[in-house]
Chain A
Amino acid sequence: MNAWLLAALLLLPLGLGPCVWVACRGSAPQRLAGANLATVMTTVLFLLLAQGFSRSSYVDLALVLAVLGPAGTLVFTRLLSPARESRTSSPNGGNTA
C-alpha cells in the first residue's frame, strides 16, 4: 500500500459515492452535475491507480476519459436543451432534424 493507493481508497467511496447518488436523483439536468463530477473523479482515480500499481500504460485510460468526458457532457446538454425539443415537436412540420 502506498500513498497513491491510499488516496484512491479514500476517493472511491467518499468521492465517487456522492456523485453516483446525485446522478441517480432529480431532474435530468441536475443529474448531469453528478455525472460530470463523477467523470472527473474517475479520471483522477485512473491516474492514482496507474501510479499506485506502477503501471504507467494505464495513464492512457485517464487521457482518453479526460478528452471524452467533457465532450460527452456537452452532448448531454445539447440533447437536454428544450430548444431542441420544441423544434422537433412543432405541429407545422418544422425542422425535424
Chain B
Amino acid sequence: MTVRHVLALAMLVVATATLLLSAGALLVLPRPYARLHALAPATSLGAPLVALALALDTGPGRGAVKLLVIGALLAAGGPVTTMAIGRVTAATDNTHSPEDAGT
C-alpha cells in the first residue's frame, strides 16, 4: 500500500461522495432551474477527481495522460451543456421570460 495508492483511494472516496451528492441533488432540488445546479458538482469536481485518482494509481505514462484528458473533457463539457440546458429551459418555460429567469 504505497502513498500514491492511498492518495488515489482518498480521492476516489471524495469523488464518489460528490457524484452521489450530485445525483441526490438532482432528485431533491426543485424544477426547473435549481435542479440544474445539481450538474455542477459532478462535472466540475466528481468526474475530474475520479480521472485524477485513476491517473495517480496508473502512474506516469500515456495511460495517465489519456485519463487526464478525459477528466478535462468532462470538466469543460459540464458548464457548456448546463448553460445550454438552462437556455432551452428558459426558452420553453411559459411562466418566465428569459430575462428574469432567476437561477
* Bound complex: CA A51 to CA B15 (Å): 15
Helix, strand, loop or mixed for chain A's interface?
A: helix
Q: Is the CB of A11 within 8 A of B16?
A: yes
Q: Is the CB of A40 within 8 A of B70?
A: no
Q: Is the CB of A33 within 8 A of B23?
A: no
Q: Is the CB of A41 within 8 A of B42?
A: yes
Q: Is the CB of A77 within 8 A of B84?
A: yes
B53 to A: closest C-beta gap in Å: 9
B56 to A: closest C-beta gap in Å: 11
Identify the interface centre among B16, B20, B27: most chain A CB within 10 Å of its CB. B16
A62 neighbours in B (Cβ, 8 Å)? 70
B78 to A: closest C-beta gap in Å: 7
B77 neighbours in A (Cβ, 8 Å)? 66, 69-70
A47 neighbours in B (Cβ, 8 Å)? 50-51, 54, 67, 70
* Bound complex: CA A51 to CA B84 (Å): 32
Contact pick for B31, options A7, A30, A36, CB 8 Å = A30
Interface residues of B, Cβ cutoff 8 Å to A: 9, 12, 15-16, 19-20, 22-24, 26-27, 31-32, 35-36, 38-39, 42-43, 46-47, 50-51, 54, 57-58, 63, 66-67, 69-70, 73-74, 77-78, 80-82, 84-85, 87-89, 91-92
Interface residues of A, Cβ cutoff 8 Å to B: 3-4, 7, 10-11, 14-19, 21-22, 26-30, 32-34, 36-37, 40-41, 43-44, 47-48, 51, 56, 59, 62-63, 66-67, 69-70, 73-74, 77, 80-83
Report 25 cross-chain contacts, Cβ distance below 8 Å, ordered by A residue: A3-B12, A4-B54, A11-B19, A18-B24, A21-B27, A22-B35, A27-B32, A30-B31, A30-B35, A33-B35, A33-B38, A36-B82, A37-B39, A43-B74, A47-B67, A48-B50, A56-B58, A59-B66, A59-B67, A62-B70, A63-B66, A70-B73, A74-B81, A77-B87, A82-B91
